[in-house]
Amino acid sequence: MGSRGNKGKMSIKLVVLDCDGTLWDHLDVSSLTLPFRQVAPDSVEDAHGVRVTLFGGTRALLAGLQERGIVISAASWNHPEPVFQIFHLLDIGRYFRHPQVEFHPDKAAMISRLLQTLAAEGLALAPSEVLYVDDRTLHIEHVRQVVGDVHFLQMGVDIAGPEGVLAYVDGIGICHSERSEESL
């Protein structure tokens, strides 16, 4: 195994999280029927009893990023209402700054708009200061074409769960590209 050295160290100032399959276990909350109701500290159910549960470590991830002074946002291909209801009922909405939740797949446009909004507020970020986390790689190539070379972690592949995001930003995680280089 290769030495990690300072290679994993970077200055991440913004973490953009997908929701479905990244923050919680359901893969399409837009397909569920409102209203939701909270049934456990980390779970909600829709009007038909379909449950959505935060992945273990999600609350610790959000609190840990906030403690580190890292801005947290979301880029989610969903109708806004289900996502914001879950955020509200599970009391996690307070962690997210300008979440981008829209019913289209253009995550590049969402992240670009988020960066423009943050810049207008005085927080101009370079792509190298952004970490995008999603359970699928479907959007990353377009995000990098539009936004620039952001860091990317695929949930369930590059990291096993939310705790992997904190490990990565703390400089002890290994991203996919680093694994590839070390195996050479």
Q: To the nearest whole number, what is the mean pLDDT of the chain?
A: 90
Q: What is the DSSP string of 104-133?
A: SS-HHHHHHHHHHHHHHTT----GGGEEEE
Q: What is the pLDDT of residues 22-54, one digit of tens each?
A: 999 999 999 999 999 999 999 999 999 999 999
Question: Looking at the predicted structure, is the pLDDT value of residue 1 above 70?
Answer: no
Q: Are 154 and 176 in contact (CB under 8 A)?
A: yes
| H or E element that contains 152 | strand 151-154
Which pair of structure tokens corresponds to residue 109? Answer: 């446009």
CATH class of 14-182: alpha beta
CA distance 57 to 161: 7
Q: Can you give the residue ranges of every domain in the chain?
A: 14-182
pLDDT over threshold 70, residue 180: no
**Of all residues in the chain, what percent are helix, strand and coil, respectively (each to 5)?**
35, 20, 45
Q: Contact, 61 vs 169, CB < 8 A?
A: no
Per-residue pLDDT tens over the stretch 97-148: 999 999 999 999 999 999 999 999 999 999 999 999 999 999 999 999 999 9
pTM of the model: 0.88
- Specify whether the CB–CB gap between 93 and 84 falls below 8 A: yes
Please write the tens of the pLDDT for every residue from 69-81: 999 999 999 999 9
Residue 173 pLDDT greater than 80, yes or no = no
Check residue 158 and give its pLDDT: 96
Local structure of 165: helix, strand or coil: helix
Q: Is the pLDDT of residue 13 over 90?
A: yes
